[in-house]
Amino acid sequence: MSDVARVLFLGDIVGRAGRHAVQHCLPFLKKEFAPDIVIANGENAAGGIGITADIATQLLESGIDVLTTGNHAWKEKAVYPYLDAEPRILRPANYPPGAPGRGWAIYPAGEHRLAVVNLSGRVFMDLVDCPFRAIDAILDEVLCTTPMVLVDFHAEATSEAQAFGWYVDGRCGAVIGTHTHVQTADARILPQGTAYITDAGMCGALDSVIGMQVEQVVRKFRSQLPVKFEAARGRPAVQGVYVEIDAGSGRAKQIQRFQALPGSSGIVLRAEQGLLPE
């Protein structure tokens, strides 16, 4: 029995460019990292904002095991019954009681069981319940079943994500930030064993403003008038992290951030090991 769970996590999948890039790169990434479980944030998979049942199903059929989401989970109202019915998709656990779907669950990861928790930050975000108190309550339940816990912390403010990482250091195997769509260069393992990155990045078109068409976003900033945003097309990247979590202790052994760049001569992988504790 392997003593680690190998986890591949992909940042927010944005629109068709992101979906196609993930479908194209996933077999390559699976060969490269041999993950036991693949998790991806799908909150922007439908047209750049939101996710539909059809698109979630396609992503799950293309080799993703668990979809997390975030504040955009609620964009498509037709997806709400799907959030209730499909156990492989999560939405932030700290929305008020009564929100459709579930915020955490335990999934098979090879021979092990990994708890995946989706939480939203509160700084410049929806006014959700406190994510710090929420994780305490969730861990009370989860740690009876498995020591391996991964959190998708969906947050705008880098400070809130970092504070959350420190708060759960040693209690969660990984805290992976999502939502900004910009991969941060701070992947590391915190002193008590939590793998951490402020943001895993995005799967989507590179020539864009966080995945959306440049001209539309610039027009919005210049005019301050309503502008319809559409997902950008063109050269994509698949960004994320690879994490190994010890099955006995639940602590992380390594974290690598990466981006895969599909091109005419194949897929180029750029990966960097995160810092280990001193």
Give contact residues for Fe ion (rule: CB under 5 A).
12, 43-44, 70-71, 179
**Using an 8 Å Cβ cutoff, are 117 and 10 in contact?**
no
Helices 158-167 & 131-142 angle (0-180, nearest 10): 30
- Output 43 or 160, the one with its CB closest to Fe ion: 43
Q: Which residues are catalytic?
A: 72
- Beta carbons of 67 and 59 less than 8 angstroms apart: yes
> Would you say 72 or 188 has its CB closer to Fe ion?
72
Question: 115 vs 30, 76, 110, 189, 224, CA distance in Å?
Answer: 21, 26, 13, 19, 42
Amino acid 45 reads: A
Both tokens assigned to 192:
């008590």
Which residue, 45 or 135, is less far from Fe ion as judged by CB?
Answer: 45
CA nearest to 99, candidates 125, 65, 123, 73: 73
* Between 12 and 244, CB nearer to Fe ion: 12
Structure-derived torsion over alpha carbons of residues 11, 15, 16, 21, reported in degrees to the nearest 10: -10
